[in-house]
Amino acid sequence: MPSRLQNKVAVISGGASGIGAAAARLFVAEGACVIVADLQEPLDRKLADLISTDPDKIRFVKCDVSIEDEVVAAIEAAASAFGKLDTVVACAGVPGMGAAGDISAEHWDKTFAVNARGVFLFTKYAIPHMIKAGGGSIINISSAFGIVAGPQFAAYAASKGAVRNFSKATALDYIGQGIRSNSIHPGYIDTPIVQNIISNAEDTDAAQSMFNALQPGGHAGAPEDIAWGCVYLASDEARFVTGAELVIDGGLLAR
């Protein structure tokens, strides 16, 4: 049986669908116990079935990652249900589209509340549990647009860039406590967020073509492509990996 994450306990935010749901399923398959934290009930049918049939390994907690008390509750749910916490995957995110001159301050704040504040809160409240456990792994989902910019993604790119450097700062601050902190930078991945952007565009064909053109291979990656990166960073195989940015982008940044 696979056991790369045997005896690991994780909280995965944004775990109802997309990358977060894929990570949750793979973590359980690799031996971890998982709390799935999200505003919405799991949309991923395989994940929903897993939660209903195996509560000793995986549970769902409703959580708005921008609300401090709800993040605390999700973190405490893991420690209470499974006895400890040594892994967090901050996967919740919103697209934050538009150029700086076209978006509102409220749009900017909402994007940062989820994409940056949510990452900070999960890190802040996970750290005491990780220190108690003797170490841990913080995995923050940034973006290829957290390294380079993309047109019409001002708030998104800024928030994901913040995640990148915050992850590095955390790595330096807690390396002495055995806590590793890394960011993952996906390219264009076929997730509900991207599907919603395309379906809500004035010209859906043009929107689809825009996303396809980002990738040298001309198509999106799958959520599992990113989830396997999360498995690696959570595992003891990555024990010497901290402060790093793991790019899983199908060659997007190679151009």
What are the sequence ranges of the domains in the chain?
A: 9-191+224-247
Residue with tokens 């170490």: 135
Q: What percent of the chain has pLDDT over 70?
A: 100
Residue 10 has pLDDT above 70, yes or no: yes
Which of 125, 156, 174, 188 is the catalytic position?
156
Catalytic: 232? no
Residue with tokens 């749901």: 21
Look at residue 1 in the predicted model and tell me its pLDDT: 57
pLDDT tens column, 166-176: 999 999 999 99
To which H or E segment does residue 247 belong? strand 245-248
**Three-state SS at 93:** coil
pLDDT tens column, 94-114: 998 899 999 999 999 999 999
**Three-state SS at 138:** strand
∠ CA 180-84-120 to the nearest 5 degrees?
45
Kindly report the CATH class assigned to 9-191+224-247: alpha beta
Q: Is the dihedral of CA 96, 99, 103, 108 positive or negative?
A: positive
- Determine how β-strand 179-186 pairs with β-strand 245-248: parallel
Tally of CB atoms within 10 A around 178? 16
Residue with tokens 């190679």: 254
Buried residues in 134-153 as b, exposed as e (16+ CB within 10 A): eebbbbbbbbbbbbeebeeb
Q: What's the rounded Cα separation, in Å, for the pair 221 and 83?
A: 35
**Three-state SS at 13:** strand
Report the chain's mean pLDDT, rounded to a whole number. Answer: 95
Residue 2 has pLDDT above 90, yes or no: no
Q: What's the rounded Cα separation, in Å, for the pair 42 and 208?
A: 26
Look at residue 86 in the predicted model and tell me its pLDDT: 96
Q: At what angle do helices 105-112 and 154-174 cross, to 10 degrees?
A: 30
| Rg (the chain; Cα; Å) | 17
∠ CA 95-65-7 to the nearest 5 degrees?
110
pLDDT tens column, 234-254: 999 999 999 999 999 999 999
Q: At what angle do helices 18-29 and 223-234 cross, to 10 degrees?
A: 50
| Token pair listed for 38 | 């999200």
Banded pLDDT at 54 (limits 50, 70, 90): very high
pLDDT tens column, 13-42: 999 999 999 999 999 999 999 999 999 999
Residue 206 has pLDDT above 90, yes or no: no
